[in-house]
Structures are given as C-alpha cells and as structure tokens.
Structure 1
Amino acid sequence: MKVYKSPAKDINLPELDVLTFLFESKSVLAKEDTVLHVEAANPKNSITKAEARELTKHMSHVLRTKYGIGANGPSKDIVLCVVNGNPMDPLLFYSTLGAGGIWSGASTAFTVPELVRQIKDADAKLLMCTAEYEENMVAAAKQCGIPLDRILRVDPSTPKDWKLINLKDGKNVLDPVNGGKLEWQRLTTKEECHKTTGCLLYSSGTTGLPKGVRLSHWNLMACNPICMSVADNYRARCKQEGREFVWNVIAHLPMAHIAGIAWYSMNPFFMGGTCYWMPKYDFDGFIENNRKYRTTIVMTVPPIWLQIAKSPKVTDHFDSVEAAATGAAPMGMELAKDVQKKIGKGKVRPAQCWGTTETTGSMTGNNFGELDETFSVGSIFPNLQLRLVDDNDQDVKEGEPGELLVKGPVVFQEYHNRPEATRDAFLDGWYRTGDVGIFKDGLNYIVDRKKELIKYKGLQVAPAELEDTLLAHPEVADAAVIGVQDEAAGEVPRGYVVRAANSKVTEKEIQEFFKKNLAQHKQLRGGVVFINEIPKSPSGKILRKNIRQWVADEQAAGRSKARL
C-alpha cells in the first residue's frame, strides 16, 4: 500500500471538545479581550472572547432548560438554523454544542420544500432563523408538524443585547445578566470527542441526494491546528522577520457551508484574529469592507476571485492582504495571476486548497506567502494520510492519476441515518473523496472528479435532486442533469429531458417550474435539452459520461445543443 504523508511533523493534538479547546486551550491565540466577531456594517456590534464564553453558557442554559436540547444526552438533538451573516451566528453554533446538541445549517436560498426535506431528514428539534427567512421557516415547520414555540427568531441588531424571540409569544428568551448559565460537558479523550457529534452539514458526497454529514467534536477541534498549520508557519516566519501577523477576515460565505463553520467560526478564533460579518455577499460591499478593515487574509471561491480580477472597481481594496486561498472548485493559473495584480500590491497570489465537507474542510494547502508556480493544491496537511487508487482500488504509481483516498482526524463520523452511504464512502477505513488527482514531487493536483456533484460558484448542487424535480413535472418522462463549464460560475446545471407522450412542454415552462421549487443556485442555467432517451447502464444508472461526451463533441464541432 502506497501512503503519502505531510513533509511536516504530525501535530500533538489536544484531546478536548471544541468549546474547551477554543475557550480554554493555551494553543488558541485569542486572548480574553480579543474581539472575535464584528458586524461589518456596525463595528460597535461586536463580541470578545470573554463575552462570548459567558453568552455561550447562558444560551446553552436556555437551549437546555427551555427546549430540552441535550437533556437526554449528547449527539441526539439537532438545532437547525437559517441565518444571515451576523456576529451572533457563531454564538448559535457554540451554544448548541454547549447544550449538548448538534448544530445544523440550511441554505438561506432554500425554498419551503427544500427546508422541509432537511428538517425531516435531520429530525430537527428546534428551529432558528433571522427575520428575512421567518416566513419560509414557519411554512416549512407547519408541514413538519413543528409548533411556533419551537421556532426562534435571531435578532443581533442591538449591540450587547442580542435576542432570541419565541415566535409563539414574541418574547425574548435571553437574559444574560439575570439568567442561568450552563457549563458545557468537558470531553477529555479522543474516543469521547469522536463519538460525540457537534455539527450536521449537508453534502451530496460522491453521489445522490444531499446527505447529512456528521462531524464530531474531534473533527471540529482537529481541523484548527491541522488546517491552520500553513498559517502557523507564516506567523512564525513573520515573527522571525520582526513583524506581527494579525488575522482579519471578512465573513461572506454561508454558515450552512463548511466555510462558515471552519473559516469563520473557529479558524480566526484559533489564530487570535477578528472576523467581520456581512449579512450576505454583494461585491461592492465585499471589496469596501476589505479596504475598511484592512483584511490580511482572503479565503473565497473562484467566482468571487474572477469578479476581483475583472472589475475595474478594485483598486487599493486588497492592498493589506498578506495571504489568499481559493477552494470549493478548481481555479486556473491564469486567473490566479490576474488576481495577483489586484491583491497584496501584486505580491500575493491565491493558493489552491482542497477538501470536502466530509473532511471538515481543507486537507491540502500551500504555506501562506509562498508562490507555487505549478499551481497544485499543495501538500497534504500534518496528521493526515493520502492514497491514490485506480478503478479496481489498486494503488497507482506516483505521478499517475487515481481517486484520492484520505484518512485522519478530520474525516467525518458517518452520514446521518444512511449506513449504506457511509459504507460505500469508505475503503478499509479510507474515505473515498471521489476526486481524481496526481501526487508528484510532494504536491497534489486535482485533475478530474468522479463525483456527480456540480459546483456552481462554489456551492454544491446535487444532480439527483434536480432530476427528482424534473421528474415531478407532469410532462417529463425521464431526465438527467450534468454540470457544464461556465467561466463566471465554474459549472452550471444543464437538464436533459425526455418529454412525456404527446407533450409539448417548453424550456421556458420547465425553467419556471424550477424557479418555484428550487433555490437560485440550483436553476438550470446551462439550459434544457430535449432528447429521445436518457443513456443508462443495464442496471438503470444514468451514464453521465456519455452525456458529457455529447457536450464535448458539440463544443468541438460548434453544433447546437439540441439532440432530437
């Protein structure tokens, strides 16, 4: 068996739960007076580490005593949140864990049917949302049989007086001054930490409908020292040069994404930095906030880097940036070089990292401040192991392509209530990422993807979900969905549709049907192609490779996309 490891030494990981690690471990750089989270539009609305600890204890007490979260033991009660970007978001995450519950985020773009699906699949015990998502949350809760007194409206608008409003009686359930406080359960062994789930994020894995990824306290804790090892190296380099690296970052990606948990709720905390929260991403606001708060690090997705590279609005907005990373989808070297002209006064180039929800974020990366002229996704991080196998699960030679398999502390527990999917996701204890890569000279390169997953602007889109929606249309007999390349978005979904007998359904009608049923990032922006038959294997599996070949052939020949 050929196993690849990091050139760096393994890190001695503390055997602690997430909250004990963040608030009490000496390896965490945040001090008691460090301002952890700030509302970008109103910097007076902020919270320090010391304040966050006490509010976490109070909110944990409220979740336990008023709503029973964690009352019957840890890893059982799921709290589902749909929230905009605000400094209270990470406190909802911390306090859910503090109560002994499991935090789960749902996309702010979800329609009511999508919310219903996740609420039911998770069997959520308590729902939270900010005001703009209240209508959809209430409608979804009604369909799931969840009463109004189990829905809380999150109100972070008043500095030092954040509120959770019970929708049944309109009362605020928080009183940090006079209310009780709950000490979270301390976990002090690796085994305890890994058997206790802290987070449930939804991903399509390598195939199928979205599945709940159960991330343990061990996963969530370990991702900080492991994934931030490249930042630690840069910090040490700065110290040798007689200067200090201060971590400032703009939170602009959703909390339902692993980025919201790792990049914003934990990593800056671990690095002793400050996270400035935007309610939602808009380009003008994003670039202005980077200039206003003199951000030192930007971690985002290729479509946003493309905007930065192409926009004439970007001048000195990113001059303070010292390190940059790109993830969630592939990015080309030419785009990276164009971005370099706009950030860090031309001295900083976005470095690719690679990871999945199932690995609690990144597994590989380059040291901050280093330019990788091969534009790899970097070296495997410490404490992790990597294999590359062929279609017969045999190890390939170095330099040859193979599916990337990983093992280590950041690899998830299991898929929620899906033992077969969990079984299929592993090979003898190694997680199958579904990505095809090459390992060469200590660096990793992603060259293809076995996954069916479509990445639209870094957001996951499951073809199976879109196919189910197409098949729900009364005039569709059969359907398949693939991702097609798009310069601005990375990939966009394209539907291949077999009309029902005597149907004359049009693309416009199908697109309207999608708008009513699915979020914006799941729309068929790649178009609808009407065909006579969906190519399938003898077992009935859609042969997506055949459809992708159609696209390649048509692009090469310059033909139209219609195949009737």
Structure 2
Amino acid sequence: MTGKVVYNAKVDYDLPDLDLLSVLFESTHVPSDDSTVLHVEASHPDNFITKAQTASYTKRVAHILRHQYQIGASGPGKDVVVCISSGQVLLPTIFYGTIAAGGIYSAASSSLTTSEVKRQIEDGKATLLITSPDCLKTAKEAAQQACLPLERIVTLDSVNGKRSLLSHTGKDLMSGPSKELSWEKITNPSVLAKRTICLVYSSGTTGAPKGVIITQANMVAYAIAIGYSHRDFVRRQRAQDPTFSFQYRTLAHVPAAHIAGMQGYFIHPAVHGGTVFWMPKFDFTQFINYNRSLEITTFFSVPPIYLLISQSPQVTDHFRTLYHALSGAAPMGPELTKAVEKKLGCTVSQVWGMSETTGSVTIQPWDEKDDTGCISEIQPNTKLRILDDEENDVEDGHPGELVVQGQTVSPGYWENSKATEEAFTKCGEWFKTGDIGLRRNNKFYIVDRKKELIKYKGLQVAPAELEALLLTHPLIVDAAVIGIPVPGEDGNEVPRAYIVADPTKVSGGDVQAFVKRELASYKQLRGGVVYLNAIPKSPTGKILRRELRELVKKESRGARL
C-alpha cells in the first residue's frame, strides 16, 4: 500500500502546560476538591485521607526525602527512589512526594524476588529504597546485594490508622513538628517534556525488564485525556437524564507498580473526583466481598481475575453496584467477556496500552458497547498506524504492527539508548508497540505479540487465538500456547498448548480434537498438550512464555543425555 495512513482519535483536548502535582492538587482541570476523600483502607474504611491531607502528606514526604536523604538536592530528575510496597493509604504520597522532592519514582512490584529488586536498584542507580513492613526482608536483602547502605532504607506503614515513615533505626520521620517542601510549579513545555518523574519497569515477558521513562508531560497528557473523556460521558448522560450521577469508587487490587495500577490508584481518584479503596494484596474472596460492602462502581482488572469471576460459584450479588469495568494487560476473548459481563451485570470494555504509552492507547466510551473483541477507540490526543515489516502502511483487514504517536508516548528506556532506538520506527517518530493488529469495519483488533507469533510452514499462528479457544472448553481452567521448534527444520515451529485441567477428565487427544474442529489445519496443536498446575504469569496476568520455553529447553537437554 502506498502513502501514509494515520488513524486519529475522534476528539483531541487542549493540554495544559503544567506539572502533574499542580494539575492534581491546584488546578481546575480536575473535579475533586480539598474535601474529596481520595484514599481509603478497604479493611478499615475509617482510615482515609482527603485531597487536602494528601497534598499535605506529599509535602511532608518531600521534605523528609530532600533533607534526610538529599533526594533532589543536586537538581531534579536525577535521584532514583525505588519503592516496593504492598497497597496502603499513604503509598500514593510516596509517589507524589518523590516527584515533589525532585526525585524519580521507580515502581517495584511487591511480588518481586530479592534478585529482581536488586536488579532494579542497580539499573536505576537508586539512592533510596522505600518499602512496607511485609516487604522489608526482601528490601534489606536486595539492598545488601546491590551495595545500597541499610540506612538508605525507609519503611512506610499507614495500615489501620498508622502514619509512620521509619528510618533504618526505627525512628519515625513523620513524628514531631510538621515540615513541608512544596513542589516546583512547571509551566515550560520543554521542561515538562524532558523532566523524568517515574520509571515503570516492563514486565520482562520475553527478556530482562527495562525501565520505561515517564515524564511530566506524559503523565499530564494521560490524566487530561482520561479525565475529560469521562466528563464528556457524564455530560452526554445528563443530556438524556438530568438526574444522572456517578460516584467514582474503585478497588486497588492489581499491583500499583504496574502502569495501570499507577494510573488507576495514584492519578484517577483526583482526576475523577472519587475514592480508591486499598487492598494490601489480591485475595479473591476479599476482592468480591469488598466490591459488595464498599459499593465499588468501577475497576480495571486483568483476564486471570475475570476468569476467576466467571468460574467462581462464590460470586452472587457482589457486583451489584458496579457500573462499568475495564480489562487490559493481556487479551480477553469475546466468549470470556460475555461470561464475565453476565456475572458482573455490566459492560466490560477492553483497553489496549502499555507502560511505554503511559497507560491505555485505546478506551471504549462508557456509553458504548462492543461484543466483537475489539480493543476500543483511540484515546484522545493519540495517533495510530498499522505497518508491515518494511514499515509500509497496510490495507484494512490486513495485519501489521501497531505504531503509536502522541504526548503519552515515553521518550524511551532509562540509560538504554540501543533499546530506545529499536523501539521507534526508522524516522524516529512512531513507537513500535510490538503488537500485531488489524482494522476491520472501523474497529481495531489485536492478533498477537509480534515476537510471539508462531511460524509454521511460512504461515503465522497467533497464540492468543488458540488460547481464547481453549478457554472456552468447559474442562480447561487456563491455557497458554507457544511455538516449539521442529527438529531439522530451521525456523519452523508447531503450536503446543500448556493447560490447567484434570487429565483424567480431558485427555491431550481430546484437546487436540477440540481445536481441530474449530480451526484451520495450520493452527493445530502439532506440538502436543502439556498439563501444568498453573500457567506462569506476571502479576498483571501476562503469560510468561519464556518460562514455558525454558521447559522446552530442559526437555531437549534431557533427550540428549
């Protein structure tokens, strides 16, 4: 196809030249006011902080970080602070406070191992590590291995009404006279575009995680797009029904170190004028019970959790107040979507995005519905193209790599110029998402990850398609598909399924026959079916295919012995 084909959002918004903290706490760009309750402990709802209190704690944390640990003392955007913590009420103030002090917030999931935290400390050359009591052991071990002095570890404890920020000696840095440090108000667009405030580490599903740079401009562009889109939705509803109202109440249950958790729990409450209820970690029974008792109205979750919801006999009226739900981080097929919507009693929209785009690239307006499995509409202020391997635009209905342009697109990876260069098109203007997708009937669909497509006799097989089909089988609890090499046939692979199921109830042959009835010949499970107790996944539900490939390598080594 000749010529450039650019797909635009239906609407764009004017973006303010203003820093994130000023937007959230001191501007009219958000509907929340000083009395809005932003953060609440789910198990103790009387433990909460308002927007005014959040701003005050932010300044107190900033003062402690600057004057006790010299964060930002040599200038902004230099000192990296790694935070590994379970969910708690004051966790957002560590994010805000690090930014206010002039530091860079490096988000680490509480599920990381010691070696993974060590690597993140070393990769960012972090000078401070903030943790929660339950993660302290891992934090100390990681700091020691990374040669970060133990006096550079601080423990946050805001559970059950506590308000402590403890030094390595146990001194509470929050006690005593309250001292505050205000953030720098930035209005220079060039500074906003270049000022790094956060590092979000990619999931590392295919390799070592990389630190994705998030700037002031990235965060503000996303906050405005999400906030204004929601306000437009409310206006449309009130035009039809003047009594319409919506109270934003969400439940923090996915990792706050993931870009979706960071946006959903640090940014959205102020942007939507509502409340996030914090769980320390995900527990399914608690999750469904909190949805009912706290009258949750919306949340973002991931396919493995939606799968639990669809299959659990525990779920009855737990989601009776839920108005809208979002799914992302991994594909969710139409059949699972329908099953979940039936259980929830509301629409579940798929969003598509990544850390490198500061969150979602696409999102479905809440007053629209799709049952085709598309990834929704392009987010405001974002542009999209679909390219072939030579970076030429493809025709409608033909698959290609989705590339993105917009102010939410990260400038690249932390101190990794090679990875940054490879992440953009040759002209350097479009971010290559690595996702293969197509446009059909004016809707966008994800086929699979570019690196995960299985090459069988010159044809491409999408693992996501096979996985979606396998999950419709009533006896298969979970599934993952990879390509395994064919001995003696360089570059040729055959699909293999890894499933969670009872082999006494459904055999590998049964599974292969099921796929044979539904899909073309070249998509068959010629690599066989392997049973696992659980599919290896990241905290956000992405299948860790590298671990499955390691199983294949071990098989090969064993066969040679």
> TM-score, normalized by length of structure 1?
0.81
Aligned-partner Cα distance in 1 for 2:156–2:224: 31
Q: Does 1:76 align with 2:78?
A: yes
Q: CA deviation at 1:370?
A: 2.0
**Other-structure match for 1:291:** 292
CA-CA distance at 1:204 after TM superposition: 5.2
Which residue of structure 2 aligns with residue 7 of structure 1? 10
In the TM superposition, what is the alpha-carbon distance from 1:317 to its structure 2 partner? 0.8
Could you list the runs of 5+ residues in structure 2 that have no partner in the other structure? 454-462, 499-521, 531-551
Q: Equivalents in 1 of 2:261, 2:59: separation in Å? A: 21
Q: CA deviation at 1:495?
A: 11
Displacement of 1:259? 1.6
The corresponding residue for 1:254 is 255
Judge conservation of contact 2:495–2:528 (CA < 8 Å) in 1. no
- Match of residue 94 from structure 2: 92
1:373 deviates by: 2.9
Distance 1:550 1:321, change over 3 A: closer
RMSD: 2.7
- In structure 1, the partner of 2:193 is 194
Tell me the alpha carbon deviations over residues 464-494 of structure 1, each in whole angstroms, 9 at most, x when there is no partner: xxxxxxxxxxxxxxxxxx9994748876598
Report the equivalent of 1:138: 140
1:542-557 aligned at under 5 Å gives the runs 546=493, 548=495, 555-556=525-526
The 2-side partners of 1:553 and 1:325 are apart by: 30
Shift of 1:441: 3.6
Distance, in Å, in 1 between the alignment partners of 2:479 and 2:139 is 29
**Residue 379 of structure 1 contacts residue 442 of structure 1 at CA under 8 Å; is this kept in 2?**
no
List per-residue Cα deviations over 1:322-380 (Å, max 9, x = no partner): 1111000111111111111222xx3x221111000100110101111322132311111
Residue 203 of structure 1: how far off its partner (Å): 0.7
* CA distance, structure 2, for counterparts of residue 99 and residue 489 of structure 1: 47
Alignment of 1:209-224 (within 5 A): 209-224=208-223
Closer, same or farther: CA 92–185 of 1 in aligned 2, 3 Å: same
The CA distance in 2 between the partners of 1:150 and 1:11, in whole Å, is: 42
Shift of residue 206 of structure 1? 9.1
Structure 2 partner of 1:386 = 384
The aligned amino acid for 1:155 is D
Displacement after TM superposition at 1:442 (Å): 3.2
Deviations 1:269-309 (A, max 9, x none): 20101000001001000001110111111210011111111
Shift of 1:188: 0.4
Q: Is the 8 A contact 1:229 1:381 kept in 2?
A: no
Q: Is the 8 A contact 2:218 2:407 kept in 1?
A: yes
1:268 deviates by 2.1
Count of residue pairs the alignment pairs up: 489
CA distance in 1, matches of 2:255, 2:401: 29
SS in 1 for 2:14: coil
Match of 1:555, SS state, is coil
Seen in structure 2, the aligned counterparts of structure 1 residues 147 and 206 have a Cα distance that, compared at 3 Å, is closer
Aligned identity (percent) is 40
Amino acid at match of 2:525: Q
How far off is 1:254 after superposition? 0.8
Contact 1:206 1:452 in 2 (8 A): no
Cα gap change, 1:140 to 1:489, in 2 (>3 Å)? farther
Alpha carbons of structure 1 residues 534 and 239: separation in structure 2 relative to 1, 3 Å? farther
CA 1:156–1:423 in structure 2 vs 1: closer, same or farther (change >3 Å)? same
Q: Kindly provide the amino acid, as one letter, of the partner of residue 442 in structure 1.
A: N
How far residue 234 of structure 1 moved from its aligned partner, in angstroms, is 2.5
Counterpart contact for 2:72–2:103, Cα < 8 Å = yes
CA distance in 2, matches of 1:553, 1:11: 44
Name which of structure 1's ranges 245-254 and 365-374 shifts more when overlaid on structure 2.
Answer: 365-374
Contact 1:206 1:434 in 2 (8 A): no
Cα distance in structure 2, aligned partners of 1:313 and 1:406:
41
Q: Give me the whole-angstrom Cα distance separating, in 2, the residues matched to 1:7 and 1:350.
A: 21
In structure 1, the gaps of 5 or more residues are 454-481, 497-530, 537-542
In 2, are the aligned partners of 1:230 and 1:366 still within 8 Å (CA)? Answer: no
TM-score, normalised via structure 2 length: 0.82
| Pairing 1:430–2:466 present | no
Cα distance change, pair 148–340 in 1 and its aligned pair in 2 (3 A): same
Structure 2: how far apart are the matches of 1:206 and 1:280?
Answer: 22
